[in-house]
Chain A
Amino acid sequence: MGNINHKESFISKYIFTYDHKMISKQFLITAIVMGILGVSMSILFRLQLGWPGESFAILETFLGKWAPGGVLDRNAYLALVTIHGTIMVFFVLTAGLSGTFSNLLIPLQIGARDMASGFLNMLSYWFFVISCVVMIFSLFVEGGAASGGWTIYPPLSALPQAMPGSGMGMTLWLLSMTLFVVSSLLGSLNYIVTIINLRTKGLSMTRLPLTIWAFFVTAILGVLSFPVLVSAIVLLLMDRMMGTAFYLSDIFIGGEALDATGGSPILYQHLFWFLGHPEVYIVLLPALGISSEVIATNSRKPIFGYKAMVGSIIAIGFLSFIVWAHHMFVTGMNPFLGSVFVFTTLLIAIPSAVKAFNYITTLWRGNIRLTPAMLFSIGLVSTFVTGGLTGIILADSALDVTVHDTYFVVGHFHIVMGLSAIFGMFAGVYHWFSKLFGRMMNTKMGYVHFWFTIVCGYGVFFPMHFVGLAGAPRRYYDSTSFDFLDSVTDLQPIISTFAIVGALAQLVFMFNFFYSIFRGQTATQNPWKSNTLEWTTPVEHIHGNWPGALPEVHRWAYDYSNPAHDEDFVLQTTPLKDGEVGH
């Protein structure tokens, strides 16, 4: 496999490349561009939320007619919220995270020359690019981008007469997401096949690093759940364009009774969340995999409870398919059905708790090197625990009734899935930067970046829980007309300030990242003294990854500080000593 004798032109090396390492870089940089876009959008609408109705010249500069007089337009606000969500969830945290690290690490950590199919891998990236382009283009069409929230519930999203954003913008949104799913499926199938078939000699499934386990389960989740999103999208497109009534019934809008009857908007929600919930774990699991690796390496300790960690990844993956309706407790769904989903949802807390405690035990009596990647991974454990805990409240249907669709939810999922996944992504970038670009990132700037990010992250999303408990609905353009929310109004400017500072702090990362690509310190082969196979490859990228024969594996990935060895790490390629019991 792999294209070892591939002829190198500029186009085949940098654009339509088959090489997994280059594709990984392409994904990462595209995701960073989309990330800049997504975060900037959040700043624009946070200005309105923090200081409602106040005029900001910057808004008019960026948005023109969408912010007349420097005050964000209502429809533009909804469009920004919607596209921010879509970009961050799908383009940054799904494609960006899995695309970058699955591509980089799967062949390198399992000892393969490349992905099973370099061609599909290339296609996967280019479908992703096209879907990004379509999504960005949708911002500029008449009526503006899709505006019904990132979940685009019909009938709002099905009826162009319901809001301006449900016109052309919505059609493009659906098109973009369809392309995105194609990209995701091609990628995921490739990851699964590669992991199953191309592991090097000696690398049994039980010796895989947890990163690979996480990517593996993530890919399976993607393959099983994304097609359901496509079917939901196709039905929605048919309702929009062909006069079907899958999601529409008994609607009177724009002075006219529509002829659609018999459909159900709730059906869409079932289909959407059947993807939507596994999606949370598609975002989260790779981040947890990355942090497992980073924490073990930098604690100089084996990850505690390897088998339990693998088991909990699989358990989380399985359970994530039977919890989707916890997003729908207040849709009028049969309360008994609600009870079932309360039960399955709270079950997920068990493997999650196991993971959290195993991380903490890994830190316990370790010898912790506080590298930027390690700081982000520790931060991830903290946000994973904090965000997961508020999930216990949301999973309880009786409590969900009072906080459903409020800022409490926004705070919860931004911490558990937004911050955790982004922290995982940053950890991965700092940790494997030398594998990506052959150079090191600046550590000091990494520290500055981390502390700003975690402080601002908690500063933005923690207070939102209180705003939500007070009853403030999300996606409100302005809630100042509600007297009962006066008690929490003063939190909004604080949240916005943290958001702005936090976003600006990302400039440190941007600078560090792009500067280090060209000017960073040249990396050594195994800077973190790590066990896994990627550190046995040369610093300079070559096709086929290993210049000679593929490495042979003799032990698991986590022999750190093994008392049988003098060094505090043992490469997986090191044969067992006499009398040593292998894993």
Chain B
Amino acid sequence: MKLLILLVTVVGIIAVAQLAKIYQLSARLRGHREEDISEADTRLQGSLWIVFMFVLFGTTIWQFVRYGDYLPPSASLHGEAVDMLMGYNLALVIVVFFVVNALIFIFSFKYRFDKNRKAHFFPHDTRLEVIWTVIPSIVLAVIIIYGLQTWSEMTGPASDDSLRVELYSKQFDWTARYAGDNDEFGSTNFNLITPLNPLGIVTQEGIDQALLKIEDKIAKLNDELTVEKGHLLAEKVELENTLHPSDDHGHADHGHADHDDAHHEMSEGYKDNLEMRLAAIEDLLNSGNATVMTDAAYEAKEDKIYRLKRHRQRILELKNYEVGEGLDAWEVGNDDRIVKSEFHLPIGREIEFIFRSRDVLHSAFMPHFRAQMNTVPGLPTRFKIETTITTDSMRTILDNPDFNYILLCNKVCGSAHFNMQMTIVVETQEEYDAWLSEQKVYMAEKN
């Protein structure tokens, strides 16, 4: 069916083109020039502007009627102010849209070409220009002041007794975290993320595990480097030179005296060590375990080791983590509650969201709360809302028993970006408390 529509359109356009072609040929026969617009054309094109105006304005009004209630009423306090601001702005914009476009279209029709008329020579008029510089300036000043007022109210600091909820994003889902009974979030670090600790909550055990893991990696890389054939051969040559120096092996830069001194002063123990090492190298080379690596690959591995060591240092620094407010730092996170796929909020309370991201940029978009904030790896962000309508009330308002508030990702983050969502339930404080107490406690799950 759609293909048919497509086909018809194609044929239609081709037909129109052909028609025009014929028209052109006939015009050429009559000696018509392309730049001479005939009276009939002028009339038609002028009138088409008026037709277009009615179509554009008509469909605009239709769209406002049909889609004007674009979202349900705001479910957050600041959202009501935002909606009001949006209302005023939209009203202003739509009035200007109608008036200015109407002027454009009507003038295009009204002042269409007439060979008996000469245009009005009107190069400038300072008064007019001042008017349409000053009036927009005033209107914009009002918009700016009103807008910034709303902005500063919604972005001000959250109050101390607000409920803090952490939203954590990764490809491609969300996790919410609540502080638990001690009202404090356990601190987190991305180095400590494991399948059992998806948020990277800092624990003594986690740090030890991460250190072990990184030591393993370093050791493994070191092992790989120690069996590199080229470097082994080079080392072998050097050892042999040290043990059995001869003039052939050129130490021109150093001078013989120094070298001989070094040789003579070499202790027996040291010499034994060198010989043992030499034997070990021989063994390795003969065993067939030695591998060949390009210089670049060797250097890349060295570089990786350097990076891993730096990384290890950073994890070690976590151990110096300060103990806060009488709580054992390692236990603050133990009662944190972690939820997936659905999270709850109490009604009528200020909620401060803290956003974190594990991998790439995401954006926490909650259209029903008029809230949006990017989540940035390495940079926690915040946004506060105050809930005003419970999920149940909203269902009644909308007469839709399936309605749910939703959190979605609004910054392209990969292939499943379009399906990264979480349901939000707003309920009374009692219901919320009951729900929260049933949620998984971080420590409990781990054990």
Do the beta carbons of B24 and A442 come within 8 Å of each other? yes
User: Chain B 141-174 against A: per-residue CB contact (8 Å), 1 yes, 0 no?
Assistant: 0011001101110110000000000000001000
Does residue A382 face the partner (Cβ distance < 8 Å to B)?
yes
A257 surroundings in chain B (CB, below 8 A)? 190-191, 193, 311
Give Cα A368–Cα B338 distance, bound, in whole angstroms: 68
CB < 8 Å neighbour of A560 from B92, B119, B363: B119
CB < 8 Å neighbour of A252 from B9, B103, B190, B373: B190
Do the beta carbons of B108 and A398 come within 8 Å of each other? no
CB distance from A484 to the nearest CB of B (A): 6
A369-B113, A386-B97, A561-B118 known; A330 and B372 CB under 8 Å?
yes
Do the beta carbons of B67 and A487 come within 8 Å of each other? yes
CB < 8 Å neighbour of B112 from A368, A462, A479: A368
Does residue B236 face the partner (Cβ distance < 8 Å to A)?
no
Does residue A134 face the partner (Cβ distance < 8 Å to B)?
no
Do the beta carbons of A369 and B377 come within 8 Å of each other? no
Do the beta carbons of A470 and B71 come within 8 Å of each other? yes
- Considering only residues 87-105 of chain B, those with a C-beta below 8 Å from chain A are 89-90, 92-93, 96-97, 100-101, 103-105
Does residue B447 face the partner (Cβ distance < 8 Å to A)?
no
A354-B132, A475-B417 known; A252 and B86 CB under 8 Å?
no
User: Chain A 365-404 against B: per-residue CB contact (8 Å), 1 yes, 0 no?
Assistant: 1111111000100100110011001101100111101101
Do the beta carbons of B378 and A393 come within 8 Å of each other? no
A265-B376, A568-B118 known; A466 and B67 CB under 8 Å?
yes
> What does DSSP make chain B's interface, helix, strand, loop or mixed?
helix
B377 surroundings in chain A (CB, below 8 A)? 155, 248-251, 265
CB < 8 Å neighbour of A367 from B118, B133, B417: B118
Does residue A302 face the partner (Cβ distance < 8 Å to B)?
yes
Do the beta carbons of B361 and A265 come within 8 Å of each other? yes
Do the beta carbons of B93 and A398 come within 8 Å of each other? no
Does residue B365 face the partner (Cβ distance < 8 Å to A)?
yes
Do the beta carbons of A447 and B45 come within 8 Å of each other? yes
Does residue B437 face the partner (Cβ distance < 8 Å to A)?
no
User: Chain B 380-423 against A: per-residue CB contact (8 Å), 1 yes, 0 no?
Assistant: 01100000000000000000001110101111111111110100
Do the beta carbons of B23 and A444 come within 8 Å of each other? yes
Give Cα A207–Cα B250 distance, bound, in whole angstroms: 80
Do the beta carbons of B360 and A162 come within 8 Å of each other? yes
A497 surroundings in chain B (CB, below 8 A)? 5
Do the beta carbons of B421 and A482 come within 8 Å of each other? yes
Question: Which of the segments B12-20, B262-270, B289-297 contacts the partner chain?
Answer: B12-20
Give Cα A123–Cα B115 distance, bound, in whole angstroms: 47
A568 surroundings in chain B (CB, below 8 A)? 118-119
Residue of A nearest to B70 (CB): A469
B56 surroundings in chain A (CB, below 8 A)? 458
Do the beta carbons of A401 and B70 come within 8 Å of each other? no
Do the beta carbons of B113 and A367 come within 8 Å of each other? yes
A179 surroundings in chain B (CB, below 8 A)? none
Give Cα A528–Cα B36 distance, bound, in whole angstroms: 9
Do the beta carbons of B151 and A338 come within 8 Å of each other? yes
The size class of the interface chain A forms with chain B is 35 or more
Do the beta carbons of A261 and B378 come within 8 Å of each other? yes
- Considering only residues 102-154 of chain A, those with a C-beta below 8 Å from chain B are 148-149, 153-154
CB distance from A76 to the nearest CB of B (A): 10
Do the beta carbons of A253 and B359 come within 8 Å of each other? yes
Does residue A448 face the partner (Cβ distance < 8 Å to B)?
yes
A308 surroundings in chain B (CB, below 8 A)? 124, 129, 133
CB < 8 Å neighbour of A361 from B122, B358, B368: B122
- Considering only residues 262-306 of chain B, those with a C-beta below 8 Å from chain A are 303
A332-B379, A462-B59, A466-B63 known; A156 and B120 CB under 8 Å?
no
Do the beta carbons of A443 and B190 come within 8 Å of each other? no
Do the beta carbons of A163 and B147 come within 8 Å of each other? no
Question: Which of the segments A19-27, A29-37, A170-178, A498-506 contacts the partner chain?
Answer: A498-506
A257-B193, A381-B104 known; A74 and B415 CB under 8 Å?
yes
Does residue B241 face the partner (Cβ distance < 8 Å to A)?
no
CB distance from A516 to the nearest CB of B (A): 9
Question: Which of the segments A198-206, A214-222, A278-286, A343-351 contacts the partner chain?
Answer: A343-351
Do the beta carbons of A524 and B33 come within 8 Å of each other? yes
Number of interface residues of B (CB under 8 A): 130
Does residue B6 face the partner (Cβ distance < 8 Å to A)?
yes
Does residue A477 face the partner (Cβ distance < 8 Å to B)?
yes
Do the beta carbons of B374 and A473 come within 8 Å of each other? no
CB < 8 Å neighbour of B415 from A75, A353, A361: A75
Question: Which of the segments B46-54, B221-229, B329-337 contacts the partner chain?
Answer: B46-54
A155-B359, A444-B24, A469-B71 known; A475 and B193 CB under 8 Å?
no
CB < 8 Å neighbour of A382 from B41, B104, B418: B104
A401-B371, A477-B417 known; A300 and B408 CB under 8 Å?
no
CB distance from A415 to the nearest CB of B (A): 11
Do the beta carbons of A396 and B143 come within 8 Å of each other? yes
CB distance from B33 to the nearest CB of A (A): 7
Does residue B85 face the partner (Cβ distance < 8 Å to A)?
yes
A560 surroundings in chain B (CB, below 8 A)? 119, 121
A580 surroundings in chain B (CB, below 8 A)? none
CB < 8 Å neighbour of A156 from B2, B105, B373, B414: B414
Do the beta carbons of B20 and A371 come within 8 Å of each other? no
- Considering only residues 125-146 of chain B, those with a C-beta below 8 Å from chain A are 125, 128-129, 132-133, 136-137, 140, 143-144
User: Chain A 322-351 against B: per-residue CB contact (8 Å), 1 yes, 0 no?
Assistant: 000000001110010011001100110110
Does residue A507 face the partner (Cβ distance < 8 Å to B)?
yes
Does residue A517 face the partner (Cβ distance < 8 Å to B)?
no
CB < 8 Å neighbour of A371 from B35, B104, B118, B363: B35
Does residue A413 face the partner (Cβ distance < 8 Å to B)?
no
User: Chain B 332-365 against A: per-residue CB contact (8 Å), 1 yes, 0 no?
Assistant: 0000000000000000000000010011110101
Give Cα A127–Cα B34 distance, bound, in whole angstroms: 37
Do the beta carbons of B148 and A342 come within 8 Å of each other? yes
The 6 residue pairs across chains A and B that have the minimum distance between CB atoms: A249-B378, A471-B367, A332-B381, A335-B155, A469-B70, A365-B120
9 A-B pairs with CB atoms under 8 Å apart are A264-B378, A360-B103, A365-B120, A398-B81, A443-B41, A445-B20, A466-B70, A471-B71, A561-B119
Task: Known A-B contacts: A74-B415, A330-B374, A463-B63. Give 13 more (CB < 8 A).
Answer: A153-B412, A162-B359, A162-B414, A163-B414, A250-B190, A252-B191, A332-B374, A366-B111, A370-B113, A385-B100, A392-B89, A392-B140, A511-B17
Q: Which A positions have Cβ atoms within 8 angstroms of B? A: 51, 74-75, 78, 148-149, 153-156, 159, 162-164, 243, 248-253, 257, 259, 261-266, 299-302, 304-308, 330-332, 335, 338-339, 342-343, 346-347, 349-350, 353-354, 356-361, 363-371, 375, 378, 381-382, 385-386, 389-390, 392-393, 396-399, 401-402, 404-406, 440-445, 447-448, 451-452, 454-455, 458, 462-463, 466, 469-471, 473, 475-479, 481-484, 487-488, 491, 497, 500-501, 504-505, 507-508, 511-512, 520-521, 524, 527-528, 558, 560-563, 568, 583
